[in-house]
Amino acid sequence: MKNQGKFVLGLLVGAAVVIIVVGMFSVVSFGSTIAVIRIKGTISSSPSFLFETTTPHDILPLIERVEEDPSIRGVLFEIDSPGGSVVASREIAYGIRRMEKPKVCWMGDIAASGAYWIASSCDHIMADPLTLTGSIGATASYLEFSELFEKYGITYEQITSGERKDTGTPFRNITEEERDKMQYIIDEIFRYFLDDVRESRSLTEEQAEQISSGDVFLAKDAVEMGLIDSLGTMRDAKERVKEMSGAEYAEFVELKSGGLSLLDLLGLM
C-alpha cells in the first residue's frame, strides 16, 4: 500500500510538472501573448521607499522586451497615476511612441498630467467614464517665510556664486525678474507637453485650446475633447488590443521589472 501510494503521488507530481512545462512551452514558444505593463503611482526619475513610483528604468526595458519578443503581439498599458516628473514622463512617453507593435492604454482611477503624457503615445486610449484625466500643463511652487521672519526680527543672509543662485529659497521673496524667469520655464515645459499631445492625438486647434487650461476632466467628457478614444472596462481594453494585434486567442502576460514569474509565463493574471 505504501509503495502504491508513493506511485500515485509520483504520477500526480509528474503530471503537475508536465502541465507546467507544457504550459510554459506553449505560451513562450508557440502561443501568442499580449504584454501587460502597469504604470502606477508617481512618475519619477528615481524610486522612492515612501510611496509607489514608476520610473523610466522600470518601463523602458519592458518596452524593449516587447519589441524583441516575436511571441508578443501587442501591449496593454494599465495606467493609474496622477503624474509626476516632467523628464521621466516624457522619456517613458517617447519610449512608447517608438514602439512598432500595437499599444492600447487603459486608465484606472486617474491618469493625469505626466501620466496622460504617457498615455497619449498609445495607439488607442480607453478609460472608465469616471476616470480623472487631463491636467495638461506644468506647475512650480515654494513656501515663503520672509514676512514671518520680519515679524520676529529674523534676518536672512546668503552668500552665493550668482545673484539668482538662491532663487526659490523660502527665506526671501522672489524678484520680478526671477518670477519672469520661472514663468518662462513653466511656459516652455507646457508648450512641449501640449505640442506632444496635440501631435499624438491629432487634436484640432479648438480641442487644444480646451485642454490648455490645465483642468482635470472626467473621461466621459474627455472623449469629445479628443483626449480619449473610447470608454470601457479593462476587459474591453483587452478585447481591443487583441483585435488590433490580430491575436484573438492570445494570453495576457504581465511584464514586471526584473523578469517574468512562473505565473506570468502561464498567463495567470
Please give the positions annotated as active site. Answer: 113, 165
| Whether 80 contacts 159, CB under 8 Å | no
Give residues with Cβ within 8 angstroms of 187, minimum separation 6: none
**Alpha-carbon span 76 to 85, nearest angstrom:** 22
User: 3-class secondary structure for 47-105?
Assistant: CCCCCCEECHHHHHHHHHHHHHCCCEEEEEEEEEECCECHHHHHHHHHHHHCCCCCEEE
